[in-house]
Structure 1
Amino acid sequence: MENGHYGDELTLRLSGIADITALDDDLVLTTFMRDLVTRIGMTVIAGPMVATEAGPPEKAGKSAVVILAESHAAIHTYPHLREIFVNVFSCKPFREADVLAEFRRLVGDFRISERLLRRRGEEWPRDLAAAEQLWSDHRAALSSVHD
């Protein structure tokens, strides 16, 4: 944990995608997710997994997710709307500029219509014993709700 917090979470909405070809291609999106997390220095532990959402054009597209040793990265594409939603959460620092560069390589030009970079886990325990106690308390609270 660096800078007094657990990690950073970047959420983006990319609009006006110049080239939508890749947004509906499972193989291209699988490769892209691997390239993205490699560029930002993360370690894949599961995936990438790509799924298709059918339906009306405003909802149709692809979702791709990769589970990282450092957390996760996910995208949701909407080719008919020329948009992509992005979420990268990591306990390891990464550069937003690297994330954006990979998307430019994938789709060309776009505009950032929503952007949020948040510090996550500012109250996260600094030591392993405290973190284990936090999870133990959380599990106990959940089990008492379900009893």
Structure 2
Amino acid sequence: MIRRHVTGHPAEDHYGDELTLRLSGVADTRALHDDDALHTFMRDLVARIGMTVIAGPLVATEEGPPHQAGKSAVVILAESHAAIHTYPWLGEIFVNIFSCKPFREEDVLDELAGLVGGFEVTERSLTRRGEDWPRALGPASRLWRSQRRRPAA
């Protein structure tokens, strides 16, 4: 079942959200080995959640024993970043999306289902980031400068 995270707070009260997922029991692992499929997936994912690509996707291969071997794909976004790490031999995927722009978790899960068919969400975290970060440039700049001037503890 796909559930939408509802914070009970307006989107303007924090800088952004970070979604982290671990998927297990991936039904079809073929795409987890495929650079082109992962490249296309990352492009389609960020388009669906309304983000802007500024670099990537970059896809890399990690060789080694099954618990380490797989692919990683990352895209740098104007809104921050998105990454996927696959472990085809284990039928596992890790996903991380950090954004200063709201996005729907359902869209992420739907794109993942399109990539691999069925799966189980075995770990999920949605973290509110930057609750004290002002969205206006002037206050943000002042906050950044004040934190840089603090002596190390």
**What RMSD in Å do the two structures reach over aligned CA positions?**
1.7
User: How many corresponding residue pairs?
Assistant: 143
- Counterpart code for 1:7: G
In the other structure, the counterpart of 2:25 is 16
In the other structure, the counterpart of 2:43 is 34
In the other structure, the counterpart of 1:135 is 144
1:107-146 alignment, distance < 5 Å: 107-138=116-147
What is the Cα deviation at residue 130 of structure 1? 2.3
- Counterpart code for 2:37: V
1:44-63 alignment, distance < 5 Å: 44-63=53-72
TM-score scaled by length of structure 2: 0.87
Higher percent of residues as helix: 1
Q: 2: CA distance between counterparts of 1:29 and 1:58?
A: 19
Query: Where does structure 1 lack aligned partners over 5 or more consecutive residues?
Result: none
- 1:76 maps onto 2:76 in alignment: no
Q: 1: CA distance between counterparts of 2:123 and 2:72?
A: 18
Q: 2: CA distance between counterparts of 1:70 and 1:11?
A: 16
Q: 1: CA distance between counterparts of 2:53 and 2:93?
A: 21
Q: 2: CA distance between counterparts of 1:66 and 1:20?
A: 21
Structure 1 56/139 Cα, relative in aligned 2: closer, same or farther at 3 Å? Answer: farther
Assess if the C-alpha contact under 8 Å between 2:15 and 2:135 holds in 1.
Answer: no
Q: 1: CA distance between counterparts of 2:131 and 2:23?
A: 28
- Provide the identity percentage: 70
Query: Where does structure 2 lack aligned partners over 5 or more consecutive residues?
Result: 1-9
Q: 1: CA distance between counterparts of 2:43 and 2:13?
A: 29
Q: 2: CA distance between counterparts of 1:138 and 1:64?
A: 33
- Counterpart code for 2:55: A
TM-score scaled by length of structure 1: 0.90
Q: 1: CA distance between counterparts of 2:33 and 2:67?
A: 14
